[in-house]
Amino acid sequence: MLIPAMVVFLLTFAVPMILVGRLSLFASDYATTKFVGMQNYVTAIFDHYYVKSYENAFWFVLMIAPSIVIFAYTLSSVLSNYNKKTQSIARFVVYIPGLTSGIIMGLLWAWLLLRQGLINQILSVFNIQAIPFLSEQWPARISIAVISVISSIGGMVILFSASMHSISKELQDASMIDGANRRQYKKFIVRPMMLPTILLALLLNIVGIMQMWETIFVLTEGGGPEGSTASPVYEIFLTAFRFGKAGLAAAKGIILMFVIAGILVIKNRVEKWVK
């Protein structure tokens, strides 16, 4: 019964992994391939736009990850006071933007944020100068960050609600008997119990930010002003399919994988240290 899953795993994951590893040692523009050894990795590390994409990701992480965790935590904490039906409806509603394809969300946001878009038109009624939401470095970064928060908050709310739900009722009763009020219960019992989930949420967010692609593609084609909104994955996409450097893109991809693995290791360290 495992065989179908294994076949699909090999075809779509294991073999491609090996091929990418091999490709990263070659200079390839799809038509011709030449062995160059580690040259691609050196080029990638000194590639201005590639390094910049990590800088972008760093700023995105600073903007996005804390706000998602705070919003999602507060929201699921508030939701836990309501009955089951309200909870599942609310969770579903906040989850909808996350389920909808990033391409469609991108079209919708483009309509709001373009220079002739709705928000700027409303501002112009009050004679306020148009805000360059997508055409200058920081406004563009902030717009992308806001969009990303809105579309990934739903999944995090589900994650937090599920793990809050799994804290046993006895703990609450015991703390109440010991004379803790509701605020103390949340601060001293729920928050420490939720810490592993919060770390997991941070990790998922950071990995997700490295992989942002669709909104960037629709809203700031080509990586935005001076490549200041391109995520690492989008930069790899540009290298592979716009500039046609398959080998270099593969090397960049492998580096990205190691970066993500490094983040995973750090997360595990932090988790152990906290315990």
Partner 1 sequence: MVENSFTPAKMFLKMPPRLIPNELTLNNSIEAFKLPYLPRWILNTSIIMVVAVILGIVINGAAGYVFAFAKYKWCVYIFWTLMSSIFVTRYVLLISQFMIVGALGLRGLPAVILVLLFWPTGIYLFRNYYKAIPVELIESARIDGAKEWRILTSIVLPLSKPILGAAIVFLGMGVLGDYIWQMLNLQDPVEKTYLVGLMSSTLDVYKVKNIGYDLAVGTLLFIPYLIIFSVSSRYFIEGLTTGGLKE
In angstroms, the Cα distances linking 39 to 232, 247, 252 are 19, 10, 12
Question: Per rule CB under 8 A, is residue 91 in the interface with partner 1?
Answer: yes
**Interacting residues of 159 by C-beta distance below 8 A, sequence separation 6+:** 72, 197, 200, 201, 204
Q: Please, which residue, 70 or 104, has the CB nearer to partner 1?
A: 104
Q: Please, which residue, 58 or 138, has the CB nearer to partner 1?
A: 58
Question: Per rule CB under 8 A, is residue 135 in the interface with partner 1?
Answer: no
Q: Please, which residue, 171 or 257, has the CB nearer to partner 1?
A: 257
**Interacting residues of 174 by C-beta distance below 8 A, sequence separation 6+:** none
Q: Please, which residue, 153 or 175, has the CB nearer to partner 1?
A: 153
Question: Per rule CB under 8 A, is residue 102 in the interface with partner 1?
Answer: yes
DSSP string, 224-250: SGGG-S--HHHHHHIIIIIS--HHHHH
Q: Which of 80, 261, 266, 269 binds partner 1 (CB under 8 A)?
A: 261
Closest CA to 234 of 221, 245, 246, 244: 221
Name the DSSP class of 33: E
Q: In the chain, how long is the greatest CA-to-CA distance?
A: 74
Q: Please, which residue, 47 or 180, has the CB nearer to partner 1?
A: 47
Residues of span 219-258 touching partner 1 by CB under 8 A: 233, 236-237, 240-241, 246, 249-250, 253-254, 256-257
Distance in Å, CB of 172 to partner 1, minimum: 19
Contact 256, 236 (CB under 8 A): yes
Q: Please, which residue, 160 or 175, has the CB nearer to partner 1?
A: 160
| Cβ atoms within 10 Å of 111's Cβ, excluding its own | 12
Question: Per rule CB under 8 A, is residue 2 in the interface with partner 1?
Answer: yes
Question: Per rule CB under 8 A, is residue 78 in the interface with partner 1?
Answer: no
Q: Which of 33, 74, 124, 181 binds partner 1 (CB under 8 A)?
A: 124
DSSP string, 34-69: EE-TTHHHHHHHT-HHHHHHHHHHHHHHHHHHHHHH
Compose the 45-74 pattern: x for residues touching partner 1 by CB under 8 A, - for all others.
------------------------------
Residues of span 155-214 touching partner 1 by CB under 8 A: 158, 161-162, 165, 207, 210-211, 213-214
d(CA 134, CA 138): 9
Contact 185, 173 (CB under 8 A): no
**Which positions touch partner 1 (CB under 8 A)?**
1-2, 4-6, 8-9, 11-13, 15-17, 19-20, 23, 88, 91-92, 96, 99-104, 107-108, 110-111, 114, 116-118, 121-122, 124-125, 158, 161-162, 165, 207, 210-211, 213-214, 233, 236-237, 240-241, 246, 249-250, 253-254, 256-257, 260-261, 264
